[in-house]
Amino acid sequence: MRHLITAAIALAVCGLVSLSPARAEPDHSLGGPIKMGKMCWVGTDGGGGIYGYWSDCAKPMRAARKAKS
């Protein structure tokens, strides 16, 4: 009986673990920005996040106007 209960608990824990997300980091594939300091990731594969390059982050319009003046 103890073996059956232990097996049922192990199965329940494995089931809960398999339902959890594979990564603990946020998913940026929905268009969210990926930033590291002053650099931003610019994806070139249509939002998959695998292919791309690092570039300067786009400044907000207000900050760009102040820089020109």
Comparison of pLDDT for 10 and 52, the residue scoring more: 10
Residue 7 in any domain: the answer is: no
Residue 53 has, within 13 A of its CA and on its CB side, a CA count of 2
- Whats the size of the chain, residue-wise? 69
Residue 37 in any domain: the answer is: yes
Q: What is the pLDDT of residue 51?
A: 81
Spatial contact of 20 and 38, defined as CB atoms under 8 Å apart: no
Q: The whole model's pTM is what? A: 0.38
Residue 14 in any domain: the answer is: no
Q: Distance (Å, rounded) from C-alpha 30 to C-alpha 40?
A: 15
Tell whether the model's pLDDT for residue 53 goes beyond 80. Answer: yes
* Least confident stretch, 1-15, 28-42, 45-59: 28-42
What is the tally of structural domains in the chain?
1
Residue 59 in any domain: the answer is: yes
Tens of pLDDT, residues 18-29? 776 665 555 555
Q: Which residue range forms the structural domain that includes residue 66?
A: 25-69
Average pLDDT over residues 11-35: 68
Residue 20 in any domain: the answer is: no
